[in-house]
Amino acid sequence: MKTLTLANRDLFWPPADELIEVAERIRARLGDWPRARVDWRICLAAPDTARSGDIVVVIGAQADAGDARAWRTAGASLIVADIGGAALTTAGGERYALEGKLPEDWLAALAAFLDCGFEPPDALVLALAWRDGDETTGDDAWPVDLARFPLVAGLPAAPAQPFPLCAPRLGLYPVLPSAQWVERVLALGVATVQLRVKDAPPDRLRAEIGQAVAAGRRHGASVFINDYWREAAEAGAYGVHLGQEDLETADLAAIAQSGMRLGLSTHGYFEMLRALHFRPSYLAFGAVFPTGTKTLATAPQGLARLERYVRLLGEQVPLVAIGGIDLPRLPAVLATGVGSVAVVSAVTGAADPARAVADLQRVFDI
């Protein structure tokens, strides 16, 4: 395999030829990825002038608070690492702390994963999942052994009662804007749906959730409720779906005690590790493609990332792919091995929703 050239780029400061050589060997075994959107520079010593895209690395001790503030003001991020793991603080103040073994080549691996287009929190997860010499084991040395991945530090305890399991492959999973849509789609034979109601007053919200849950019972289907876990529990819903931001506010113990299933959204490796800590019933991964149904906090993930996500977690927890997936794209999505695909406009935006559902279901049955 041709070795990718990193040596002519300002990848490390000060320049570090040995690290560049190792980073090139690692990068050459990670596959073909689009270039990073940012020209990251890993600073092994304090830069004279920090800049946006710098990641200043401090080993074994906290950085001087004044220096750290100055670096962040200039747009740089900071990694503080020691024998027990590493913590990244971005220029915006977001902190991502990981516990795990630091391989000898972790800085070279970090550079390689950044070059693959991963944002620093996810590249740091992958760098800590790396093991020295992995680049010699084959053409694709991507970390896919969950036992080797770090843990997210500082999380609250997971609920004592695990969330109930759901089917390992949920199949077609329409996300629908109203109880009327839930009724309509369940009547077409779909087994799993999600009700995602936006900006409804409390009385209407409870009515919509109650109607959707009742429809699920009549059809013997699984109805998940997006966000509104209290109302979902009151109605006896099969499950609830939450975003990463909801993990800060939702009472996960109460959700577990209610018997509801829990689905969690993830957008990369760090969020995946954070979600796994709480032992959810399934993980949703996206957005796979660009989508107009909601504002994206991260760039579209693409099929290559989804395929590696499936290889890592396919036997651990059910996975749902979401984001910009329609009938033409569905075969390629399923080819990654993912067991469920959530769709929105592919059903609700179709001229003939019944035909759209039938066509989508047919791809799953092939």
Residue 358 binned pLDDT confidence (cut-offs 50, 70, 90): very high
Looking at the fold, whether 341 and 193 belong to one and the same domain comes out as yes
Calculate helix-pair angle for 106-115, 17-27, nearest 10 degrees: 60
The answer to whether the beta carbons of residues 171 and 333 sit under 8 Å apart is no
| Res 6 pLDDT > 90 | no
Q: Which residues are annotated binding-site positions for Mg(2+)?
A: 227, 246
* Token representation of residue 354: 């019944």
Residue 293 binned pLDDT confidence (cut-offs 50, 70, 90): low
Looking at the fold, whether 219 and 361 belong to one and the same domain comes out as yes
User: 9-44 pLDDT, tens per residue?
Assistant: 789 999 999 999 999 999 999 988 888 888 999 999
Mean pLDDT of 356-360: 98
88 Cα distance to chain centroid: 18
> In the chain, what percentage of residues exceed pLDDT 70?
97
Looking at the fold, whether 318 and 279 belong to one and the same domain comes out as yes
Looking at the fold, whether 146 and 246 belong to one and the same domain comes out as no
What pLDDT, on the 0 to 100 scale, is given for residue 110?
A: 98
The answer to whether the beta carbons of residues 95 and 77 sit under 8 Å apart is no
Report if residue 80 sits inside a domain.
yes
Looking at the fold, whether 121 and 189 belong to one and the same domain comes out as no
Looking at the fold, whether 192 and 141 belong to one and the same domain comes out as no
Q: Is the dihedral of CA 294, 298, 299, 305 positive or negative?
A: negative
Report the number of distinct structural domains present in the chain.
Answer: 2
Mean pLDDT of 297-304: 85
Looking at the fold, whether 311 and 260 belong to one and the same domain comes out as yes
Last residue of a domain, one of 105, 125, 152: 152
Q: Is the dihedral of CA 312, 223, 207, 210 positive or negative?
A: negative
| Res 169 pLDDT > 70 | yes
Continuous segment of H or E residues that includes residue 347: helix 345-348
Report if residue 355 sits inside a domain.
yes
Report if residue 49 sits inside a domain.
yes
Q: Is the dihedral of CA 166, 168, 171, 177 positive or negative?
A: positive
Predicted TM-score (pTM) of the model is 0.95
Last residue of a domain, one of 93, 120, 152: 152
The answer to whether the beta carbons of residues 273 and 312 sit under 8 Å apart is no
Report if residue 358 sits inside a domain.
yes
Mean pLDDT of 192-198: 97
Looking at the fold, whether 87 and 176 belong to one and the same domain comes out as no
Residue of higher predicted confidence among 349 and 133: 349
Report if residue 159 sits inside a domain.
no
What pLDDT, on the 0 to 100 scale, is given for residue 1?
A: 38
| Res 297 pLDDT > 80 | no
The answer to whether the beta carbons of residues 87 and 97 sit under 8 Å apart is yes
Looking at the fold, whether 250 and 323 belong to one and the same domain comes out as yes
Residue 2 binned pLDDT confidence (cut-offs 50, 70, 90): very low
User: 199-221 pLDDT, tens per residue?
Assistant: 999 999 999 999 999 999 999 99
Last residue of a domain, one of 88, 119, 152: 152
CATH of the domain at 236: 3.20.20.70
What pLDDT, on the 0 to 100 scale, is given for residue 315?
A: 83
Residue 3 binned pLDDT confidence (cut-offs 50, 70, 90): very low
Looking at the fold, whether 325 and 189 belong to one and the same domain comes out as yes
- The CA–CA distances, whole Å, from 146 to 26, 102, 276 equal 19, 16, 11
Domain that holds residue 35: 12-152
DSSP string covering 253-306, please? HHHHHHT-EEEEEE-SHHHHHHHHHT--SEEEE--SS--SSS--SS---HHHHH
Residue 361 binned pLDDT confidence (cut-offs 50, 70, 90): very high
Q: Which residues are annotated binding-site positions?
A: 194-198, 226-227, 246, 265, 291-294, 324, 344-345
Looking at the fold, whether 203 and 284 belong to one and the same domain comes out as yes
DSSP string covering 134-175, please? GGGS-S------GGGS-EETTPPPPPSSPPPP--S--EEEEE
- The CA–CA distances, whole Å, from 240 to 145, 234, 263 equal 29, 12, 6
User: 223-266 pLDDT, tens per residue?
Assistant: 999 999 999 999 999 999 999 999 999 999 999 999 999 999 99
What pLDDT, on the 0 to 100 scale, is given for residue 294?
A: 62
Looking at the fold, whether 273 and 195 belong to one and the same domain comes out as yes
User: 128-157 pLDDT, tens per residue?
Assistant: 999 988 888 877 899 999 999 999 999 999
| Res 69 pLDDT > 50 | yes
The answer to whether the beta carbons of residues 129 and 143 sit under 8 Å apart is yes
